[in-house]
Copies of this chain bind each other. A is one copy, B any other.
Amino acid sequence: MTQRQAALAGKVTRAMQQAARAEGLKPEIIRAGVGQGTLVVPANKLHRHLKPIAIGRGVKVKVNANIGTSPHDISLEKELAKQAAALEAGADTIMDLSTGGPLDLIRTNLLGDCPAPFGTVPIYQVMTEARSLEAVKADAFLDIVRHQGEQGVDFVTVHCGVTRAALPLLKKRVTGVVSRGGAFTIAWMRRHRKENPLFEYYDRLLDIAREFDLTLSLGDGLRPGCLADATDRAQRHELKILGELTHRAWAAGVQVMVEGPGHLPLTHIRRNMLLQQKYCRNAPFYVLGPLVTDVASGYDHIAGAIGGALAAVHGASFLCYVTPAEHLKLPEVEDVVDGVIASKIAAHAADIALGFPGAADWDLKMSQARRALDWETQIKLSVNPRKARRFRELSQATADQCTMCGRFCAMKVFDEKFE
């Protein structure tokens, strides 16, 4: 029985109880959300030591960190370090996007060390291991999902909405297709003159997903890769298909979320969130960024935090982090930390804005500590205590002052204590 089948049967599972506890909510709320499809609890039965969480409506906004090797940078040790750093920084989930080295070895090692829900993009393994486009059979698209499901992966990005019908819509685009899975699927469809197997044999995919309770994350293979392509016909065409596939997954007892852009001007964000909610009936929306400008290379975590905060306020439930290395290089450990923290700030700002119970308590405690000039508590309550402590130590002022204001600290001056 999947979490969804259990929810529909009125049954509260152990995973739902654990997810509810993590939110400070009653388990029944989680069950109801999973039944309605507005929540997912990604939990492969084979992922040992998993601490399940809920993603979607009425729970805290979650943050995903992408890690993984590339053909140019292959080190299991480094990926394990990135995973540990991402989790320490507060990532709620991990996705292994490895495309270099022994993928199964890397994945099983990361998964074995990850108490958080663990996701993948199975097609990357097909792409990485393919001798040629011709050699890839349609079945490979499905077999690889089963293979990774057997390894214990909790959620998979599947680009089921990339179809032949969308190809003519891509011609006018500035950046074409910027999703690797989407691009590979299109290259395969063109070369084989066939439909996307994940679309054509979607029912078989649902059978596999149900077997392992794999949560499907319906990928936006046609997401805009620049502001000029934002919310274009290709993107909307795919989103409509993802809405239909969402309903079919629900009917099959499979948990599902929907992925979103990408690059969007600030003024498109609300509209995109509303479109998704309309087409996909409030299935959890998992957004990559969105980046509010194309020119922030080296600082895309900031462009993504701006877009992510606004997206979450308007309905997105799950923010895929973007690191400062985006568009330039594979992220290192420090980029991973910066990416997670930026997304956590966006997610937390949205939790406060949405009035999530208790969200603003963290800020209140911080501000009380600030007023009391209690530095130790301020450091502990910082979004990254490690960095706050380092900065504080660089600050050569006295016990109750910092080098910014010294004796002219407004808190002290206000109390007439600066003289």
Contact = CB atoms under 8 A, between A and B. Distances in A.
B371 A175 contact: yes
A378 B328 CA distance: 10
Contacts of A186: 414
A61 to B, nearest CB: 12
Interface stretch (A24-32, A52-60, A274-282, A295-303): A295-303
A22 interface: no
Copies of this chain present in the complex amount to 2
B180 A413 contact: yes
A114 B243 CA distance: 55
Given A174-B368, A411-B178, A404 B328 contact: yes
A87 interface: no
A321 B180 CA distance: 36
A293 B403 contact: no
A9 interface: no
Interface string A315-328: 00000000011111
A130 to B, nearest CB: 8
Interface stretch (A139-147, A193-201, A205-213, A387-395): A387-395
Given A225-B370, A293-B349, A305-B306, 17 more contacts: A73-B403, A177-B410, A184-B413, A227-B367, A228-B360, A265-B353, A265-B360, A266-B313, A266-B353, A294-B370, A297-B388, A299-B345, A299-B387, A301-B302, A302-B345, A327-B370, A330-B404
Interface of A: 70-73, 99-100, 124, 127-128, 132-133, 174-180, 182-184, 186-187, 190-191, 225-229, 265-267, 292-299, 301-303, 305-306, 309-310, 313, 324-330, 341-342, 345-346, 348-350, 352-353, 360, 362-364, 366-368, 370-371, 378-379, 381-384, 387-388, 391-392, 394-397, 401-411, 413-414, 416, 418-419
